[in-house]
Structure 1
Amino acid sequence: MALISQLERDMMAKAQRQYPQCQDPVEKLRLQCLARGASGIKGLGRAFRIMDDNRSSTLDLEEFSKGLQNFGLTLQPSEVLDIFHQFDTNGNGTINFDEFLNSIRPPMSNARRQVILDAFKKMDRTGDGIITIEDLKGVYNPKFHQKYQNGEWNERQVFQNFLDNFDSPNNKDGQVTGEEFLNYYSGVSASIDSDVYFVVMMKNEWKI
């Protein structure tokens, strides 16, 4: 994960540099998420899902505004309204937040998306669409972790730390869904210009 950590830092710094010159509300929202790290977009998605009490996968303007505010994103009310209207495509006063998050993710080629999905599939040993500590056993070797070697952490703590890399900082549940995994790596992808380099990096990182 060391290489990815460096790429994530580069991506965060790049987003922070670009933000002051940005005028487009949607792009400003994307850059604020990326400035939080690769988990930023994933965390926003989770914040929206928590608010979706009736599991409709939709939010009205008030819920959308509150979700952004709760996640600590700073936008003018006029910008929030502009974004909402862009995604309220049928004019019924609600937006589908799956479609919204798909648009907020930095663009990725099919090759990048596929290698991310391949990596997730390898980790999701049970095939239930969620990576847990149980999935990691036999796939991720904790014995190479420095804190395991010096006796500071046990196997379970190493596994939990590994999952925390992909979990949302303010709402950790010890599970990573396919959507969260994709949202995380869309952030990492934003710092890499070359499709070939990204694909090779992922294959090396996940041994696929």
Structure 2
Amino acid sequence: MAFYGVNLEVKVRELNLQFKLALQSKGGSVGLRTLAKIFQRMDVNGNRKLDSSEFEQALGAFGFFPKKVELQALMKFYDVNNDGHISYEEFIRGLRDELSPRRVKMVEKIFQSLDRDGSGQISLSDVVQIYDVSMNHEFIEGKKTREQIIGEFLNGFEGARGNKDGVITKDEFFDYYTDLGMSVPSDEYFVRMLESAWQCPEEEADPSAQASIRMLIEEVRKRILELAKGDPKLIKKIHSDFDLNQSGSLTIDEVTNMIAKLKISVERKYVYPFFKFIDQDNSGNISFEEFEVYVLNK
């Protein structure tokens, strides 16, 4: 579709850039707090969403006066769910900057690691293998189960474009981190934050990362053999002791706990590569057989 002879998407993005520049010239840095205040001022009737009239008035207040057809195109661009209004979430989404190449690469890597079956979407069963709830205060206090916490976590990704179905598409995943990235100006901090949250190093092939992972593999093996006191039969008991829910296999949470109990200091981002090293069948759990093969270095 064309817009005055120009591709519609290109033209709308040009208009939106003009609006963003107008916001910056009037309001300074366009961070989340600033945008929240701007949206509140725009929302004349206080219903937490903007109709076309409020949106037009808001644009004018910032010195931006698009033509009627341009206003309609911008309104459609912001109104993701097509309900005739712009919610705060839609407003933020429309003004955000795209992820930098480094951020895109990191988010893509994490999505691929979660999408274990290659379906192009993430379900509860995908996330449960990696997401660690052990430090969540509601889990510790027994207020919520692991499944409830992870379910809420999944729904947190389903923003303006989500349908609250408990499944995250790749677009929804990228939308979430693009929104989050607005409040994280540094690529370095953004990447480190994701490394910690998902226990996933940015560059596993990096020599220092490889060295840390190898160190963890060898140190855990050494500590377990010390606990077993040279008796291979005790390895099964050790596996069972760390299997806190007695499911017969170790989850990522239980492996994280095991490393802590063994008093091994390591950055969280190296735990998942370590976990994958032992989980030879890529099931998302470490069976006793896999544990034994790892410990005895068979």
TM-score bin, normalised by smaller chain: 0.5 to 0.7
Q: What residue ranges of structure 2 are gaps of 5+ in the alignment? A: 1-29, 40-57, 201-298
Residue 148 of structure 1 contacts residue 154 of structure 1 at CA under 8 Å; is this kept in 2?
A: yes
Flag the 1:106–1:116 CA change in 2: closer, same or farther, 3 A: same
| 2:170 corresponding residue in structure 1 | 178
User: Does 1 or 2 have the higher relative contact order (CA < 8 Å, sep 6+)?
Assistant: 1
In the TM superposition, residue 105 of structure 1 has moved relative to its aligned partner by: 5.0
Alignment CA distance shift 1:152-1:189 (3 Å): same
1:28-81 per-position Cα deviation (integer Å, ceiling 9, x unaligned): x99xx9xxxxxxx8xx65x3xxxxxxxxxxxxxxxxxxx1515547xxxxxxxx
The answer as to 2:98 corresponding to 1:123 is no
Mapping for residues 1-208 of structure 1, pairs under 5 Å: 11-17=31-37, 21=62, 23=64, 45=80, 47=81, 67=82, 69=84, 72=87, 106-168=97-159, 171-208=163-200
Identify which range, 161-170 or 11-20, moves more after superposition. Answer: 11-20
SS for the counterpart of 2:112 is helix
Alpha-carbon distance in structure 1 between the residues aligned to 2:109 and 2:148: 25
The structure that has the greater radius of gyration is 2
Whole-Å separation in 2 of the counterparts to 1:202 and 1:183: 15
* Contact 2:130 2:198 survives alignment (8 Å): no
> Any gaps of 5 or more consecutive residues in structure 1?
1-9, 34-40, 48-66, 74-100
What's the CA shift string for 1:81-121, capped at 9, x where partnerless?
xxxxxxxxxxxxxxxxxxxx9x8651322111111111212
The answer to whether the Cα contact below 8 Å between 1:11 and 1:188 also exists between their aligned partners in 2 is: no
**SS of residue paired to 1:143:** coil
Task: Map Cα deviations across residues 111-143 of structure 1 (whole Å, 9 max, x no partner).
Answer: 111111112122222221111111122211333
Identity of aligned residues (%): 25
Q: Aligned pair in 2 of structure 1 residues 142, 202: CA closer, same or farther (>3 Å)?
A: closer
**Equivalent residues of 2:114, 2:126 under 8 A apart:** yes
CA RMSD in angstroms comes to: 3.4
